[in-house]
A and B are shown apart, each in its own frame.
Chain A
């Protein structure tokens, strides 16, 4: 089908990929950029993972073994920044690049050049951030939340940190604008809003959250910059400012940010479970409304991160109840996933295993979140390992498992090669076991009073820390199975053809094009029928 367009003049959209490195630097193709985003995210996961191993090695025993406390704090700070802004967010953007146009029957994203630009900002931003590790004074060590006045004591790394955050913010905002414009204006005829796959819906709402909150973060760090170098006193108490104000501004961004990190995961899981349960998603409309309500509620709960700063009772109560309210739409989602599986003909291929692991372990992380939402209890848990366990449960077996599930699910479509199912299952079971070994004991450590961001601890915490460190190292090593499996999908021998509809229970436009997906898909938009697939077969490929 691509041949028909191959020599059709100089319209840039109609060429195949360039050869060599310039293809990747100059590309405006959503599939190429999706691949770049995913590879970049993968490198960042690796670097951030190494940092977490430094942390776990130091915490293997009480006392100071390997690194000095300042460097330890750099590791916790950088691990968070790298994993959030370099790992999870670019991975989701990569998935959106690949899948959103294919799922709504568009030829590409709305702003292909902006897309290229948005991606290539990232390596520069992170080169800047990571270079601080080699600067005199070391990398930022005041925590990824950058609270003043501590963060203002950062040495030469300070302006690098601020500008890196600016660059990452610009990148995410351009990516988000691109996704919104595409979804609102480029859906194929018949693809009404309430027929869109849930991955598209969750990304639409995520993109709005990004556009609404990343600029606020940019403003907050700009104020930090002027406080340090230009004599302003936004957060300096001696000049009439208030450090607590920073926490309000930061978490006004920060709480929607945690939904930016999880809503696309909801979309992925809502796509995978129906496929392997061979039943349509239970309660599609309620999923959309639940996502929208979570998006809205995320703007009015931020101060649950700062119950201990000294707020009036009324505010503590308001933020406690509004936070607990979020459990309602989230519960609706979990219920719908379970109801989708009810009496389905389920099979347990690797993507399904990771999706089920997500449902189970994310819910666990949700429950500890609910505990933290209770103000008087939070006074006890604040800044302990209980909080660390909570957010790692929602981020690793939550967000990261969903990314892994998505890659297993769609990679046959991307590369035209099937991954090794045995290795995939092994990867799942090792990951699931070791992630629990890593983080489950941290609940107990936190409840017993072990503080986060401290390289040393009371000897009574030793046993659980040993278990946690062993889990962390084993989890990291297990991921090499994944790397091997993915590399063989990308570069291995092609034995046997992968059908268009890779999974028999899969539905949606992306399964009506060839595997591997051609460089250009849906240049002529298909007419989408009630089932979300082309009415007339043969627009771009033969369906069914």
Chain B
């Protein structure tokens, strides 16, 4: 037995270690959840996954068309899970000048005999172009209720700002349409 540390002192140190490690466990459990806002912040910062300010509506933009530059914007639509939906853009691509507002319209049709709530989720490729795509109007900001067999024309008003990196010549704007009827019902009635 070493003289320096008695059993009482060993017991005290053990308890201290246990508490420290338990605290680390709890902290790491919290860290798992903290990764959610961290990830979203990182995505917005870097345009990772094409998610960022382009997801939010911009109240007003200053139009300053740069007529010397032309960028191709492609539109892509996907219906999640092979639902019975028709969802497509009026044009598959258009040439735009940065700094000028354009409108493109999308058609969506519920081909089911029941009411459905839809939600389109946008993504922009390449990621670094995402924060330069400004939208003043988009159906993707809200859930869209559809009556049975209802068809809708939905406009998107957007502008590429002139700070768009010079090496970007093509920007793809993609929308995935989800059936969120259940999700909408849940949030409509609390505890539902």
Q: Which residues of A contact B (CB under 8 A)?
A: 110-111, 173, 176-177, 180-181, 184-186, 189, 211-220, 223, 231, 233-234, 236-240, 242, 244-245, 248-249, 252, 310-312, 315, 524-525, 527
A211 touches B25 (CB 8 A): yes
- B46 adjacent to A312 (CB under 8 Å): yes
Please tell me if the beta carbons of B24 and A237 are within 8 angstroms of each other in the complex: no
Indicate if the CB atoms of A237 and B49 lie closer than 8 Å: no
CB contact between A186 and one of B10, B18, B80, B176 (< 8 Å): that residue? B10
Determine which of A185, A214, A216, A239 lies in contact with B10 in the assembled complex, contact meaning CB atoms within 8 Å: A185
Please provide the 9 A-B residue pairs with the shortest distance between their CB atoms, ordered closest to farther. Answer: A219-B32, A238-B178, A189-B2, A215-B29, A215-B28, A216-B32, A231-B186, A181-B17, A177-B21
The reply to whether A237 and B32 contact each other, CB–CB distance below 8 Å, is no
Query: Do B33 and A219 touch across chains, with their CB atoms under 8 A apart?
Result: yes
Q: Is B96 an interface residue (CB 8 A)?
A: no
Q: Are the CB atoms of B29 and A177 closer together than 8 Å? A: no
Residue from B29, B48, B180, B187 within 8 A of A216 (CB atoms): B29
Does B102 touch A at the CB level, under 8 Å? no
Asked whether, in the complex, the Cβ of A245 is within 8 Å of the Cβ of B28, the reply is: no
Asked if residues B2 and A213 are in contact (CB atoms below 8 Å), the reply is no
- From 33 to 61 in chain B, residues with beta carbon under 8 angstroms from any chain A beta carbon are 33, 35-36, 39-40, 43, 46, 48-49, 51
Q: With contacts defined as CB atoms under 8 Å apart, how many contacts are there between chain A and chain B in the complex? A: 104
Any A CB within 8 A of the CB of B166: no
Please give, as numbers and ranges, the residues of chain A lying within 8 Å of B80 by CB-CB distance: 237-238
Name the A residues within 8 Å of B14 (CB-CB): 110, 181, 185-186
Residues of chain B with a CB closer than 8 A to A110's CB: 14, 17-18
Q: What are 24 residue pairs bridging A and B, where the CB atoms are less than 8 Å apart in the complex?
A: A177-B25, A180-B21, A181-B17, A184-B13, A186-B14, A211-B21, A212-B24, A212-B28, A213-B28, A214-B25, A214-B28, A216-B28, A216-B29, A220-B32, A231-B186, A231-B187, A237-B80, A237-B176, A239-B119, A239-B183, A249-B32, A252-B35, A310-B49, A312-B48
**How long is the Cα–Cα vector from A248 to B18 in the complex, in angstroms?**
29
Interchain CA distance A176-B178 in the complex, whole Å: 43
Query: In the complex, what distance in Å separates the CA atom of A244 from the CA atom of B10?
Result: 46
A216-B31 contact in complex given A237-B176, A524-B1, C-beta closer than 8 Å:
yes
Q: Are B26's CB and A234's CB within 8 A? A: no
In the bound complex, residues from chain B placing their C-beta under 8 Å from that of A237 are 80, 121, 176, 178
Given A173-B25, A180-B21, A233 contacting B183 (CB threshold 8 A): yes
Residue B94 at the chain A interface, CB threshold 8 Å: no
Could you mark each residue 160-182 of chain B with 1 if its beta carbon is under 8 Å from any beta carbon of chain A, else 0?
00000000000000001011100
The reply on B91 being an interface residue by CB < 8 A is no
A177 and B26 alpha carbons, distance in the complex (Å)? 13
Least CB distance, B36 to chain A, in whole angstroms: 6
**Cα separation A310 to B47 with both chains bound (whole Å):** 12
How far is B22's CA from A181's CA once the two chains are assembled, in angstroms? 11
What is the bound-complex CA distance between A211 and B19, given in angstroms?
13
Most buried by A among B14, B119, B187: B14
- Complex formed: what's the CA distance from A216 to B30 in Å? 8
Say whether B22 contacts A177, CB under 8 Å: yes
Residues of B within 8 A of A242 (CB): 39-40, 43, 49, 51
Q: Pick from B22, B29, B46 the residue with the most CB of A within 10 Å.
A: B29
Chain B residues within an 8 Å CB radius of A252: 32, 35
User: Are A181 and B32 within 8 A (Cβ)?
Assistant: no
Cross-interface CB contact of B33 among A214, A223, A231, A311, cutoff 8 Å: A223
CA–CA, A252 and B32, complex, Å: 9
When C-beta atoms are compared, the residue in chain A nearest to B178 turns out to be A238
Judged by DSSP, the binding face of A is: helix
Judge whether B127 is part of the interface by a CB distance below 8 angstroms.
yes
Kindly report which residue of chain A lies nearest to residue B31, judged by CB atoms. A216
A311 to B46, CA, bound (A): 11
Which listed residue (B32, B40, B48, B127) contacts A218, Cβ 8 A? B32
CB <8 Å contact, A311 and B28 = no
Q: How far is the CA of A220 from the CA of B32 in the complex (A)?
A: 7
Cα A189 to Cα B127 with chains together (Å): 59
List residues of chain A with CB within 8 A of the CB of B179: 238
B26 touches A215 (CB 8 A): yes
Q: How far is the CB of A335 from chain B (nearest CB, A)?
A: 33
Contact present for A181 and B33 (CB under 8 Å)? no
Residue of A nearest to B46 (CB): A312
Q: How far is the CA of A249 from the CA of B180 in the complex (A)?
A: 25
B17 touches A180 (CB 8 A): yes
Partner of A244, one of B1, B13, B49, B128: B49
Closest to B177 in A: A238
Task: For the complex formed, measure the closest distance between the CB of B149 and the CB atoms of chain A, giving whole angstroms.
Answer: 22
- B31 to chain A: which residues have CB within 8 Å? 215-216, 219
Contact status B17-A184, CB under 8 Å: yes
Residues of A within 8 A of B48 (CB): 311-312, 315
A147 and B44 alpha carbons, distance in the complex (Å): 23
Q: A177-B21, A216-B29 are in contact. Are A238 and B127 (CB under 8 A)?
A: no
Residues from chain B with Cβ under 8 Å of A177 in the complex: 18, 21-22, 25
Nearest residue, chain A, Cβ from B176: A237
Q: Which residue of B lies closest to A236 (CB)?
A: B183
- Partner of A111 from the list B18, B29, B176, B183 (CB cut-off 8 Å) is B18
Chain B contacts for A185, CB-based, 8 A = 10, 13-14, 17
B33 near A238: Cβ-Cβ < 8 Å: no
Residue among B24, B26, B32 facing the most chain A CB atoms (10 A cut-off): B32
Residues of B within 8 Å of A244, CB to CB, are 49
A233 CA to B186 CA, complexed, in Å: 12
The chain B residue sitting closest to A213, CB to CB, is B28
8 additional A-B residue pairs with CB within 8 Å, beyond A238-B183, A242-B43, A524-B1: A185-B17, A231-B186, A237-B178, A238-B119, A239-B180, A249-B35, A312-B48, A527-B2
CB pair B35 A248 closer than 8 Å: yes
Whole-angstrom CA separation of A312 from B178 in the bound complex? 26
Contact with A along B102-136 (1 / 0, CB 8 A): 00000000000000000101000001100000000
Contacts of A212 in B (CB 8 A): 24, 28
Q: Assess whether B1 is in contact with A231, with CB atoms less than 8 Å apart.
A: no
- Whether A245 contacts B36 by the Cβ 8 Å rule is yes
- Given A239-B180, A248-B39, verify A181-B18 contact (CB < 8 Å): yes
Complex alpha-carbon distance, A94 and B39, angstroms: 37
User: Which listed residue (A189, A238, A524) contacts B121, Cβ 8 A?
Assistant: A238
CA distance A355 to B13 in the complex (A): 37
| Given A181-B18, A238-B121, CB of A215 within 8 Å of CB of B187 | no
Contact at A181–B183, with CB atoms within 8 Å? Answer: no
Complex: A524 Cα to B7 Cα, angstroms: 12
Chain A residue contacts of B33, Cβ below 8 A: 219, 223
Closest to B33 in A: A219
Identify the closest chain A residue to B51 (Cβ).
A242
